[in-house]
Amino acid sequence: MSKDVAIIGVGQSAFVRSYQGSIRELAFEAFREAMQDAGISTGDIDASIICSAPEYDNQRSPSGIIAEYLGLNPQPTFAVESVCSSSTTGIRVGYSMIKSGLHDLVLILGFQKMSEISSADSQERMGRGADIMWEAPFGTMMPAYYAMHAQAHFASYGSTEKDLALIRVKASKYGILNEKAVYRKEVKLEDALNAGMVASPLKRFDCCANADGASCIIMASQARAKEMAKKPVWVLGLGSATASMTLTGRDALNGLTCARVAAEKAYAMAGVTPRDIDVAEVHDCFTIAELMAYENLGFAGPGQGAELIRAGETYIGGKIPVNVDGGLLSKGHPIGATGGSQVRTIVQQLRGEAGAIQVPNAAIGLVHNIGGVGVYGNVIILGR
Amino acid sequence: MSKDVAIIGVGQSAFVRSYQGSIRELAFEAFREAMQDAGISTGDIDASIICSAPEYDNQRSPSGIIAEYLGLNPQPTFAVESVCSSSTTGIRVGYSMIKSGLHDLVLILGFQKMSEISSADSQERMGRGADIMWEAPFGTMMPAYYAMHAQAHFASYGSTEKDLALIRVKASKYGILNEKAVYRKEVKLEDALNAGMVASPLKRFDCCANADGASCIIMASQARAKEMAKKPVWVLGLGSATASMTLTGRDALNGLTCARVAAEKAYAMAGVTPRDIDVAEVHDCFTIAELMAYENLGFAGPGQGAELIRAGETYIGGKIPVNVDGGLLSKGHPIGATGGSQVRTIVQQLRGEAGAIQVPNAAIGLVHNIGGVGVYGNVIILGR
Amino acid sequence: MMGFEKFGHKSFTSQTKVNAFVAALESNELKGTKCISCGNTYFPPRADCCGCLGSDMVWINIEGPGNLLSYTRVNYAPTGFEKDVPYTLALADFNGTKVFGRLSSAIAKEETMVVMSLKAAVVNLPDGQITYEFIKA
Amino acid sequence: MMGFEKFGHKSFTSQTKVNAFVAALESNELKGTKCISCGNTYFPPRADCCGCLGSDMVWINIEGPGNLLSYTRVNYAPTGFEKDVPYTLALADFNGTKVFGRLSSAIAKEETMVVMSLKAAVVNLPDGQITYEFIKA
Ligand SMILES: [Zn+2]
Ligand SMILES: [Zn+2]
């Protein structure tokens, strides 16, 4: 467990339905918070990495315009993308650039203004999210793919719609406490179970909402972190993996291979096991995604994830508190910003600065961030 | 001058006006050549980095579909973008991932199928390439920006339209020899000077052509490179820098700050000077870009670049041969693939495998790849 | 136009080296490809083999019966598919080759279940497009 | 609609915290912003200061005369600007503040030259859009 690269600053804008400003102004909100958190100025930043799903922007190559607005010229900047996991990919790249010695301080800015394009345009892009040659021509969308995973999980393991609803109930409980979340109302079990069907067996409350938002993470080399940060949070493990984009290339749909492989790599690098994790943020774009994450991350054995939520073990006070900031289900899912928001929550937990949602004595935390429907998987293990 | 990371395989598709296949099939052409060049199989690759300007694709998140087609699951993959310099950004990231110890073998695949979208759509996207708030509303395009740099260079230093034409004449001489180039006809000085004006002072032959194409570079750690490669080419220096996207934020238009700063960093890392460079590939999307590159890279003093081309010093046999593969002006400029193609040329030169365009005894080579109009600049120094 | 734009309820791309897939559908056959050099088989069909880097492929038939691996009945659709809702998307296994597509609307909601036996059938759509769907075996 | 879509020969984005820029143009003034905390000035105007991370800005006037730094007369244009060609794009310096825009078509090609003296003038376009251009000082 080496402590070579640390996170020294975190920031996030409010996640909102429709941000009333430009993407550069949205990015600035997360940037300012992270810079003030780290206590540094723009001249300290050696490079920036901008993370987003570019099909939502009218601006081509937004990394250039955002780096300019943040005052980060002439330092290098570029964009990275792995759809919904773009900002944890950015963090993986930032880690590499620091560990390799190219840079000492790297800023990772994730953003998405999903409302930048019209709703019709958005519906059009959704249709192009899967393999456009072999799957999109049948009329596919993200909820449908996750629904097929849910159906397969139910068939393999006997999990139920109620298990999924229980996950949403937990998300809403914590979402109420998160002032940066887009959805802050209680969802009762019966509300979740009685909601309209989107793609069977997923109903309205099984799905997270689109949102506009930005997140910002500042990473530093060991030397700079020790010099600058009161409470550095160290990158202990990083794992990344993929699965074929087309479902035809996958072994089974009752879990996500990319998450399982990424987790194995992250645990091995950190030298820890699932039992060592005190608090986790998992990618719950749909309730079924959280259920599969329990198993793919080793918090439960294959098919035993439902028992965790039934027993309340993923609440604060349980064996492994998961998504105690409300998750994507409550916060909303501004694609490029999501992973950075998850990392921010874990950093605050490990610093003991999480307020009402603090998991007592959290020392090791985990982030699980998935791009596409199990196409890209990033797992990050952080420690204080 | 450390030899930690090497290039062990290079490949490129033909660059053509309109590729008659899918983007995955186009990518495969460069991939196959690089894999055969390196003599490895897909299981050897630890991660892939896919480089393109995404606004030309109908496929969202093409990195997933391309990695799948190349047989690179479950290894990590993601996209990087800095417009026209995307694939050298990919190489910089690949270097980091290897040097940091995360991976041993990384594949960087750059591609662009500019003909994937209609010509009208392409014209529409061109209008969104600059700052969409403050410059695009006036009707800007890439040639206009480079033309303003040309006008400023002429005003500052007395360079002329004829100097630019001489650069195109050189490009065409070598383009004829490059069987993968899209433009393989001779351009005489008077042809270049008499061609129609695009954006004053730039005329038709001052501009490179759009093209479809792919490039592939395989990088390896020192240990793997020594074990696997007969003629590894080492990454000696990497420099990257930016300038504001809006012209209003720049000091002067008679050169590109991002290139000058990137070059300084690359020379410092490699421990060499401009005089040590035996052969260079520079980003000649427009003739003026090559002229500015002479100065920004230190091959000539500020304002003295024109003397180099007037004296023929950038031909093979001259002081510093530049773009002896025909450059972007002859090869075409498939945005995401361009930097990888430049790197391939230098690798072949340093291996002594460049055939008709071989610069005798080339030992140290340089690549200069620019994204946008001087927004992103990457300089890479390679040695055998 | 290359021919591939004819495939599917809505097409997103027209150019591919495997557009003969559409001609096969027109002859009522669902086909994948097989690499001559190494024997790897592919569905969806591919022009290139990532196993051996070869590009000499032959067409092979995907034949039933197969089994339903998973499915979902969707009530919302992306642009261009609105008039089709609800429809059921499915993944089926044909002797180890997985195929993605729609389940025939002739299969009742109640009888749709994982592992049910299926075969693929070509469907000519009213607008001239061609596709395939899964019907009861 | 926020107001910013009114700026320019063609607009690409409507939402910004500095859309009062358009109202200033309507009052015949070209404005940038100045940070109250640190005094940094910005053109184009910004809502946030990257110097001190503050977001309290006041509007300031950009006043002439300025000098032409560079220009180009374009014969091709992107979608939406086709009817305007040829037109001349330019960068000018107003006492250290650089401004990008078009040169007035009233300035003849022959008299256009780097360092010529200019001032900015608001232009109301026939379709209701508003912009500015550079005219002879
Ligand atoms: Zn084969
Ligand atoms: Zn300030």
Nearest by CB to B152, which of D70, D80, D101? Answer: D70
Neighbours of chain B (3+ CB pairs under 8 A): A, C, D
Regarding beta strands D66-74 and A212-221, do their DSSP bridges make them parallel or antiparallel, or are they unpaired? unpaired
Nearest ligand to the CA of C53 is: 1
Cβ B170 vs Cβ B310: under 8 Å: no
Whole-angstrom distance, CA of residue C91 vs CA of residue C103: 9
Among all chains, which residue has been given the structure tokens 């403050």?
B134
Question: How distant is the Cα of D99 from the closest Cα of chain B, in angstroms?
Answer: 6
Q: How far is the CA of D55 from the centre of ligand 2 (A)?
A: 7
SS (H, E, C) chain A: CCCCEEEEEEEECCCECCCCCCHHHHHHHHHHHHHHHHCCCHHHCCEEEEECCHHHCCCCCHHHHHHHHCCCCCCCEEEEEECECHHHHHHHHHHHHHHCCCCCEEEEEEEEEHHHCCHHHHHHHHCCCCCCCCCHHHCCCHHHHHHHHHHHHHHHHCCCHHHHHHHHHHHHHHHCCCCCCCCCCCCCHHHHHHCCEEECCEEHHHECCCCEEEEEEEEEEHHHHHHHCCCCEEEEEEEEEECCCCHHHCCCCCCCHHHHHHHHHHHHHHCCCHHHCCEEECCCCEHHHHHHHHHHCCCCCCCCHHHHHHCCCCCCCCCCCECCCCHHHHHCCCHHHHHHHHHHHHHHHHHCCCHHHCCCCCCEEEEEEEECCCCEEEEEEEEC
Other C-beta atoms lying within 10 Å of the C-beta of residue B315: 18
Q: What is the average pLDDT across B5-25? A: 98
Answer whether A19 sits within 8 Å of D53, measured CB to CB.
Answer: no
Reduce the DSSP state of residue C133 to 3 states and report it.
strand
Cβ B69 vs Cβ B77: under 8 Å: no
pLDDT-wise least confident of A152-156, B118-122, B233-237, D102-106: B118-122
Averaged pLDDT score across all residues of chain A:
97
Right CATH number for A5-118+211-233 from 3.40.1350.10, 3.90.1010.10, 3.40.47.10, 3.30.450.40? 3.40.47.10
Cβ B230 vs Cβ B347: under 8 Å: no
CATH class of B141-208+234-383: alpha beta
Residue B262: left if φ>0, alpha if ψ -120 to 50, beta else—which one?
Answer: alpha
Spans of chain D, pLDDT less than 70: 1-2
Nearest by CB to C50, which of B19, B22, B42? Answer: B42
Percent of chain B surpassing pLDDT 90: 95
Q: φ and ψ at B217, to 5 degrees?
A: -125, 130
Regarding beta strands B364-371 and B279-281, do their DSSP bridges make them parallel or antiparallel, or are they unpaired? parallel
Q: What is the pLDDT, as a whole number, of residue A324?
A: 98
Whole-angstrom distance, CA of residue A292 vs CA of residue C1: 42
Per-residue buried b or exposed e for D11-25, using 16+ beta carbons within 10 Å of the residue's own CB: bbbbbbbbbbbbebb
Q: Which two structure tokens, joined as six digits, stand for B238?
A: 């990497």
Answer whether C72 sits within 8 Å of A144, measured CB to CB.
Answer: yes
Residue of B nearest to C19 (CA): B21
Nearest by CB to A58, which of D13, D16, D17? Answer: D13
Please pick, among B51, B84, B216, B258, the residue that the annotation labels catalytic. Answer: B84
Residue A145: left if φ>0, alpha if ψ -120 to 50, beta else—which one?
Answer: alpha
Residue of B nearest to C1 (CA): B20
Looking at residue A270, its amino acid is: A
**pLDDT > 80? residue A357:** yes
C interface test, pick of A122, A131, A200 with most C CB neighbours within 10 Å = A200
Cβ C64 vs Cβ C93: under 8 Å: no
Residue of D nearest to A27 (CA): D48
Answer whether B151 sits within 8 Å of D9, measured CB to CB.
Answer: no
Which residues does residue B221 pair with via DSSP β-bridges, in sequence order? B5
Domain ranges across chain A: 5-118+211-233, 141-208+234-383
**pLDDT > 90? residue A128:** no
Answer whether D78 sits within 8 Å of B140, measured CB to CB.
Answer: yes
Whole-angstrom distance, CA of residue B31 vs CA of residue B50: 11
Whole-angstrom distance, CA of residue A166 vs CA of residue A143: 18
Nearest ligand to the CA of A71 is: 2
Answer whether B25 sits within 8 Å of C48, measured CB to CB.
Answer: yes
Q: What is the pLDDT, as a whole number, of residue B116?
A: 83
Write the burial class of residue C126 (CB in 10 Å: 0-12 exposed, 13-18 middle, 19+ buried). exposed
Q: Closest Cα partner for C12 from C134, C97, C129, C125?
A: C129
Whole-angstrom distance, CA of residue B214 vs CA of residue B308: 31
Q: What is the pLDDT, as a whole number, of residue A333?
A: 97
Question: How distant is the Cα of A3 from the closest Cα of chain B, in angstroms?
Answer: 13
Question: How distant is the Cα of B166 from the closest Cα of chain C, in angstroms?
Answer: 39
Spans of chain C, pLDDT less than 50: none
Q: φ and ψ at B45, to 5 degrees?
A: -80, 125
Per-residue buried b or exposed e for B10-41, using 16+ beta carbons within 10 Å of the residue's own CB: bbbbbbbeebebbbbbbbbbbbbbbbebbebe
A256 touches chain C (CB under 8 A): no
Answer whether D70 sits within 8 Å of B133, measured CB to CB.
Answer: no
> What is the enclosing helix (H) or strand (E) of B258?
helix B257-270
Which residues from A are below 8 Å from C120, CB to CB? none
Q: Is B207 a catalytic residue?
A: no
**pLDDT > 90? residue A382:** yes
Q: Closest Cα partner for A336 from A104, A147, A135, A66?
A: A66
Question: How distant is the Cα of D36 from the closest Cα of chain B, in angstroms?
Answer: 20
Answer whether B136 sits within 8 Å of D12, measured CB to CB.
Answer: yes
Whole-angstrom distance, CA of residue A248 vs CA of residue C62: 13
Whole-angstrom distance, CA of residue B145 vs CA of residue B136: 11
Which residues from B are below 8 Å from D90, CB to CB? 148
Q: φ and ψ at B365, to 5 degrees?
A: -125, 160
Q: ∠ at Cα A332 (A330, A336), nearest 5°?
A: 145
A32 touches chain D (CB under 8 A): yes
Q: What is the pLDDT, as a whole number, of residue B118?
A: 82
Distant-in-sequence, close-in-space partners of D35: CB < 8 Å, separation ≥ 6: D41, D42, D49, D51, D52, D54, D56, D57
Q: What is the average pLDDT across A346-357? A: 98
Please pick, among B103, B149, B333, B368, the residue that the annotation labels catalytic. Answer: B333
Domain ranges across chain D: 4-136
Regarding beta strands C41-42 and C31-35, do their DSSP bridges make them parallel or antiparallel, or are they unpaired? antiparallel
Nearest ligand to the CA of C38 is: 1
Q: What is the pLDDT, as a whole number, of residue A338?
A: 98
Return the DSSP state at C53: -
Which residues from C are below 8 Å from B25, CB to CB? 16-17, 47-48
Q: What is the pLDDT, as a whole number, of residue C2?
A: 64
Whole-angstrom distance, CA of residue B108 vs CA of residue B104: 13
Which residues from C are below 8 Å from B48, CB to CB? none
Which residues does residue A225 pair with via DSSP β-bridges, in sequence order? none
Other C-beta atoms lying within 10 Å of the C-beta of residue C129: 17
Distant-in-sequence, close-in-space partners of A126: CB < 8 Å, separation ≥ 6: A141, A142, C78, C79
Q: φ and ψ at C67, to 5 degrees?
A: -125, 145
Q: φ and ψ at B184, to 5 degrees?
A: -125, 25
Question: How distant is the Cα of B4 from the closest Cα of chain C, in angstroms?
Answer: 29
Tell me, rounded to whole angstroms, the distance of Cα D80 from its chain centroid. Answer: 19
Q: Closest Cα partner for D49 from D31, D37, D32?
A: D37
Percent of chain D surpassing pLDDT 90: 96
Regarding beta strands B197-199 and D31-35, do their DSSP bridges make them parallel or antiparallel, or are they unpaired? unpaired
Return the DSSP state at B336: G
Q: What is the pLDDT, as a whole number, of residue A1?
A: 63
A25 touches chain D (CB under 8 A): yes
Nearest ligand to the CA of C40 is: 1
Q: What is the average pLDDT across B146-162? A: 98
Reduce the DSSP state of residue B5 to 3 states and report it.
strand
Q: Is A285 a catalytic residue?
A: no
**pTM to 2 decimal places:** 0.98
Which residues have C-beta under 5 Å from ligand 2, the single-atom ion? D 35, 37-38, 40, 49, 51-52, 54
Write the burial class of residue B360 (CB in 10 Å: 0-12 exposed, 13-18 middle, 19+ buried). exposed
The tally of CA atoms less than 13 A away on the side-chain side of residue D86 is 15
Confidence band of A44 (pLDDT split at 50, 70, 90):
very high
Q: What is the pLDDT, as a whole number, of residue A123?
A: 79
Q: φ and ψ at B130, to 5 degrees?
A: -100, 180
Q: What is the pLDDT, as a whole number, of residue D2?
A: 64
Which residues from C are below 8 Å from B39, CB to CB? none
pLDDT digits (tens, 9 = 90+) for B334-376: 999 999 999 999 999 999 999 999 999 999 999 999 999 999 9
Q: Closest Cα partner for B337 from B67, B92, B52?
A: B52
Nearest by CB to C16, which of B21, B32, B35? Answer: B21
Q: Closest Cα partner for A43 from A101, A90, A105?
A: A105
